[in-house]
Amino acid sequence: MSITVSLASLNEQPEASAFIFSDVAETERQLQMQDFLKTINDGGADQYQILIAREAGNLLGVGVLIFTDSTTACLWPPFTQRSDCADAILQEMAQRIDRSGISIGQSLLDPNQLNLRRQLTQNGFPHLTNLLFMRHPLTNLPELTFLQEQQIEPVRFDPAQNRQRFLKLIDQTHQSSHDCPALNQIRSAEESLESHRSSGDSDQLYWYLFQKEGIDLGIILLSEHQDDQIWEVVYMGVAPEQRGNGFGADMIRFGLREAAAHDQSAMILAVDYKNSYAIKIYEQLGFVRQNTLSVHARLRSQFPEKKPEIN
């Protein structure tokens, strides 16, 4: 018998949910299943895709593919005890990502999950990089003296007034970047901005560029996570010709001050583990290392004929 993988119908979703949470304690299982199915159905079939693998009618495995925006998808590694079933689900996910034309389909894993990581690599999701997650408790905040002395001005994002300036600055800051440089080769500034917009709950409310005497220096995109009362640095970059002048550190200082002024409990960020220069600056500013996750990803550079349009 061969394994078939298909999109779970509405009637099959409860069975798939029960399969996913089968190892959860019975007292919690039903609640987690209900929350999961509510999230799936609130998001819609285009955003959340539950893939089920069957053999001779029997359910062998389940995978979840989430299209977070028009450029990015996240996948849950398959829930199954059989490697051939996991292979079939991952290969179906790869095909769906290819057809969608998005920039990246990714999964974040514990670096020690070697077998699962190997399986992802073998099925079209090779290791891209490791991300170091850091957190600032918003205590002992650094001063903003440099910004004030240099008369550097933060400018809030306004889609009607300065969207093109933000796009141009994102393009500039991508040049020679040490943070996941592979991503900068496969998506445009427009796509990058769209991806950042979907992070958190605040949309574009806390996006800033920084200028001095009409010259744009850098950009920081902040996002609020309301349930956790936390702000996140979803992107920060300095124009190549402005690097080495301390502007990046001061943009982070500005963000920390803004988060504290909005009564947040902490600020978080993720940085490429190879970017030792940025990590050193973050630690000097009071960020503490939390954990590291491995990124396995399928990039659009593997199928360059796909060129999505952002509406």
Q: Render pLDDT for 202-257 as a digit per residue (tens, 0 to 9).
A: 678 999 999 988 899 999 999 999 989 999 999 999 999 999 888 999 899 999 99
Does residue 307 register a pLDDT over 50?
Answer: no
| pTM listed for this prediction | 0.87
CB-CB contact of 45 with 9 (8 Å): no
Which domain covers residue 194, as residue numbers?
Answer: 134-302
Q: Quick check: is 298 in a domain?
A: yes
Residue 144: predicted pLDDT: 65
Q: Residues 121, 146: one domain?
A: no
Does 307 map to a domain? no
Average pLDDT over residues 93-115: 94
Within 13 A of 92's CA, how many CA atoms are on the CB side?
A: 25
Residue 303 has pLDDT above 90, yes or no: no
Lowest mean pLDDT segment, chosen from 91-100, 104-113, 190-199, 240-249: 190-199
Give dist(CA 292, CA 297) in Å, integer.
16
Same domain, yes or no: 154 and 276: yes
The answer to whether residues 91 and 223 belong to one domain is no
pLDDT at 146: 61
Higher-confidence residue of 181 and 55: namely 55
Cα separation values, 11 from 17, 50, 129, Å = 11, 12, 38
Residue-level pLDDT at 165: 94
Task: Decide which of 75, 90, 125 is a domain's last residue.
Answer: 125
Note whether residue 74 is domain-resident. Answer: yes
Residues 95 and 223 in one domain: no
Q: How many CA atoms lie within 13 A of 170 on its CB side?
A: 26
Give me the pLDDT at residue 304, please. Answer: 45
Of 71, 94, 125, the one marking the end of a domain is 125
**Residue 272 and residue 150 in one domain:** yes
- Overall domain count for the chain: 2
- The predicted pLDDT at position 308 comes to 41
* Mean pLDDT of all residues belonging to the chain: 89
For range 117-125, the mean pLDDT: 97
CATH of the domain at 235: 3.40.630.30
The yes-or-no verdict on residue 311 having pLDDT over 70 is: no
CA gap 89, 15 in Å, rounded: 17
Residue that finishes a domain, picked among 100, 125, 150: 125
